[in-house]
Structure formats: structure tokens, C-alpha cells
Amino acid sequence: MNDLHWTELIIFVLLFAVVTVLGFVAARWKAGATLDHLDEWGLGGRKFGSWITWFLIGGDLYTAYTFVAVPALLFSAGATGFFALPYTIIAYPIVFLPLLRLWSVSRARGYVTPADFVRGRYGSSVLALLVAITGIVATMPYIALQLVGLESVLRTLGFNGSGILGHLPLLIAFVVLAVYTYQSGLRAPALIAFVKDILIYIVIIVAVLYLPSKLGGWDVIFGAADKKFTESKAASDGILLNANNQLQYATLALGSALALFLYPHSVTGVLASRGRNVIKRNMSALPAYSLLLGLLALLGYVAVAAGTKALTNQATGRADTNTIVPKLFEEQFPSWFAGIAFAAIGIGALVPAAIMSIAAANLWTRNVYKEYIKRDATPRQQAKQAKLASLIVKFGAVAFILFIDPQFSIDLQLIGGVMILQTLPAVAIALYTRWFHLWGLVAGWVVGMGWGMLLLYDIPNPASGKLHFGGSALALEKINLFGWHPFGGSQVQIYVGVVALLANLIVAAIVTFIARAVKAANGTDETEGVDYHVDEDDKDLRPIAVH
């Protein structure tokens, strides 16, 4: 264990204590009649207004891992790391109208998860199960990545041991998180998100004003980054994209934008909103976070100019690039402000981890437990099951960090993005049309998922020595259609998720034509046209949390 940085640690602990108190107080904040119902525990009573939704969704999407990984990616690989900026800008216009329809039909029919909607739209427990399992599996490594972000801060504070003691602060933090999430449900991260976002805004604004002036200006910073990448032998490095990674950059941004609101935790934040106008305001205003993200990303270049070195992870013996931003703050800021910055990143892990665990628990409860294990489960039993499932999900994520190399969690998250994209036809497209046949959607999911995993398996990472699952950038020459290589010899790269999604859609369309030709049953749609347009003030709207 390294020497502890006591000033930073004390400030970190004090602010962490504040959010812990808020987490427990949240149970009585905007409380409904009971928390023994998924409408209340898992969706906060479906009554969050514009400001609460702003902080909740922002806290959900802009995670602790984002705050350490995006600048770390720019520090290591240059311009490629900026993909996070365009994808968060284009995501909101893309999802603006579909999310309104999803909120309305979910409010009208009492749906809690995207798989609930699929179950109602197609009358198929099989298709809903595929969507639910995909959401749970894709979310688990995402939660683990919040731990990676939190651990980067704890290691910088001095908790950099190689044994269980090195992980002890992390375990304590997540036990506390687990307890107040169990008690307060979605209200806990919604309330804590206020503190998290205020701290993050303060830290980033100070950082982008103070650090450049200290280091000689942005011209010096970009010059230092350009010099580093010019001397690098990696073809992908540079402060500008090259001919081979431009397509990958564009498709990664597009694919990530399409996937963002397919993740169950993103849907949870939307369904917790009070009405359609709340969603409209937030989808219009949330791109402001992208300005923050762009400024944050530039800290990767600032770290290059400052000569910041990654901390060696004593558990693995390798340099941990995720510590670049915490190390930069530690070296360049006074101790008291570094403590605030560390708290901002640490709290930034708790908010999304809580929402993700709640979303995964809702999927398990509604689409596995109630559908296949206890069909007559009461709302109270469902709420209890979700609370227990949220605990299991959290500690499953902790197990990733304790027993598996954290880098594996990062690789799994890349896989998760490819996976969640395969639910787009069954969830997003189904909001507008049932043109795709039920079995076409199932076949498309199988092919898209299978081919996507196969393509990812064949991607190496020379930097880490990995032969498989080394990234999500696929050289076009690797695309193999039954022995035919349509782009033979091309080193231009593309995002695997987009390739797999295209295969999914093509197969879904072909099987749809076949299924219609043989007159295969296509399930029963329980939704009605009017369901997709209901709002909070409509008469005869389904009551919330009805037992």
C-alpha cells in the first residue's frame, strides 16, 4: 500500500459521506404510497420533472469511466478518442421521437423495461427474453467499468495494494451503494446526481481554464501531443485521423449513438420522467453535456504536455492508463482541489452503477422471474425480487474487479455495445411498425449476435498481446461472406457493431418474407395506436403503482 494522500482522502471521504446520507434520505424524497412496487422503486414513481430527469439521465450516461477513459484514450491514441463527442451530439436528435413513443406506450400499458414493450408488441416471451438477456449481459461489464473508474481514483489516493486490502475501500463504497439503493431505489441516484454533476462541472471548468494557462496555452498542449504521436509507431495514433480509421471513427460514433438509448439503464431514466414534455426538454438540452465531454477529452492532451505518467497497478504490475486524469489532477492542483476532483469522479461512479443495477434487476424480475419462474408474482413480490437482484448484480460487478483483470471488463464493454445494437429492430423499429415478422426478428438477432461475436473474436490487439477480442475496429479485408472477401486487401477499418446490425436487418427482412409466405403466426399486439401518444394529463391514464 502506498503512502495515503491524507488531504485528498479526507475531502473525498467527507463528500462521499454527504452522498451516502442523501442516498438514505432519498427513500422519503417525492415518496409515493409504497416502495413495494416497481413503478415506485424501479422508476421513482414515474414522476420526475425536467431538472431531476436532466441530472438523472446526465448522471446515467456520463459515467465515472467516461471521465477517466475518454481523456485516457486521447492520451494514448489521439484523435480516435474524440469519437465520444460526435456520438453524444447525434444521439439525441436520433432518439428524440422514438423515446416519446416508448414513454407513452410504457405509461399506457405499465411497461417497466424495453423487454416488457417487446412482449406486449409481439406477444412473444421468447423475443422478450432475448432482449432482456441481452440487456442484462451488456449492462454487467458496464457496471464493472464504473468500478474501474472509481479504483483509478482510489489507487491515486494511495490504495494501490495488490491484495484484498487494495480493494477494501472499493468494497466498502459498494456495500454502502448497495444498501441505500436497496432501500431507496431509483430515487437515490436521482438525488445524488445533483451533487455529482455540480462537482463535475466545477472541476472541468476550473481544469480547462487553469491547466492550459499553467502549461503555456493550448498551442503548447497541442504541439506536445502532436510531437508525441508523430514519434509513435502506431498507425492509428495522431491528433488527426488517417485514411484507415476515418470510416471506423464515423461508424463507431453512429453505432454508439444508436446503442446509447437501447441500454436498459438509459430507458429507465426516460421511463421515470413525468411526461412527454419533460423528455422533449431533456433531449433538446442534454447535448450541453457534450460541451463538457469535449473539454474533458482535451485533458488527455493536457496530460501529455504536463508529462503525466500512468500509475502502475500493483495488482497487475502494468501501467494503468485510467489513472492519467487523477494523476494529472494530483500533480497540477492543490491537494484540497484534487480531493474535490477525486470525489467528483468517485461519486460519478455511484450514480450510473446504481441506475444500471436497478435496470438490470427490473429486466430480471419482469422478463425472467415473472415470465418463467413465478407468473402470479404480486407487485410486492416483484419489488422484493428486484431489490435482491440489484444486490447480486452489484456484487457480480465487484467480482469482475476482484477476480478478473479489469482490462477484461473493458473488452467486455466493447462486446456489450455490439450486443445491445442487436436489439434495435425489436425495440426501436417496433415502436413504429410491426413489418418485421416475429421470427424474422429472432433470426436477425441470432445472426447479428453470432456474426458480431465471431468478428470481435478475430480482432487482435498487438499492444496488449491479445489475439482475440482486442477491440471493436475491424479491417474491411477481414469481412468474409461464405469464403468471399468483398474488400480483400483493404486496411480501412469499420465498427463491428454496424456490420453485425446490417446483417441482423438483412436476415430479419429475408425471414420476414419467408414467414409471411408460409403464413407463420406473428404473435398478438396488445398495444393500440393511441397508446403511443398518451401524455401525463390524459384522462383514464393507468394509475401508478396499482397492486
324: CB partners within 8 A, 6+ apart = 68, 71, 72, 75, 300, 303, 308, 310
Joined together, the cell numbers standing for residue 410 give 473493458
Give the three cell numbers for residue 254.
453512429
Q: How many CB atoms lie within 10 A of CB 217?
A: 12
Q: What is the value of pTM for the model shown?
A: 0.93
What domains appear along the chain, each with residue ranges and CATH number?
6-422 (1.20.1730.10)
State the cell numbers at 211. Answer: 491547466
Task: Determine the pLDDT at residue 233.
Answer: 63
pLDDT in tens, the chain (547 residues): 557 889 999 999 999 999 989 988 887 777 766 788 999 999 999 999 999 999 999 888 888 777 888 898 889 888 888 888 898 889 999 999 999 999 999 999 999 999 999 999 999 999 999 999 999 999 988 888 888 888 889 889 988 776 666 677 778 888 888 888 998 999 999 999 988 889 988 998 899 899 999 999 999 999 999 999 888 766 567 888 988 889 999 999 999 999 999 999 999 999 999 999 999 999 999 988 888 888 889 999 999 999 999 888 776 677 788 899 999 999 999 999 999 999 999 888 888 999 999 999 999 999 999 999 999 999 999 999 999 999 998 888 887 777 766 666 566 677 889 999 999 999 999 999 999 999 999 999 999 999 999 999 888 876 666 777 778 889 999 888 888 888 888 999 999 999 999 999 999 999 999 999 999 999 999 999 999 999 999 888 888 877 5
Beta-strand runs (E) in 204-337: 311-313, 318-320
Each residue's pLDDT tens digit, 419-428: 999 999 999 9
Give DSSP secondary structure letters for 134-174: HHHHHHHHHHHHHHHHHHHHHHHHT---SSHHHHHHHHHHH
The full DSSP string for 396-442 is HHHHHHHHS-HHHHHHHHHHHHHHHHTTHHHHTGGGT---S-HHHHH
- Per the CB < 8 A criterion, the answer to whether 547 and 382 are in contact is no
Q: Contact, 152 vs 145, CB < 8 A?
A: no
All cell numbers assigned to 62: 456520463
Closest residue by Cα to residue 273 from 422, 2, 73, 57: 57
Residue 462 neighbours by CB distance under 10 Å: 9
Q: Kindly report the three-state secondary structure assignment for every residue of 438-488.
A: HHHHHHHHHHHHHHHHHHHHCCCECCCCECCCCCCEEEHHHCCECCECCCC
Contact 49, 274 (CB under 8 A): yes
Cβ contact 298:147 at 8 Å: no
Looking at residue 202, its amino acid is I
For 360-392, how does the pLDDT look when each residue is reduced to its tens digit (9 = 90+)? 999 999 999 999 999 999 999 999 999 999 999
d(CA 393, CA 389): 6
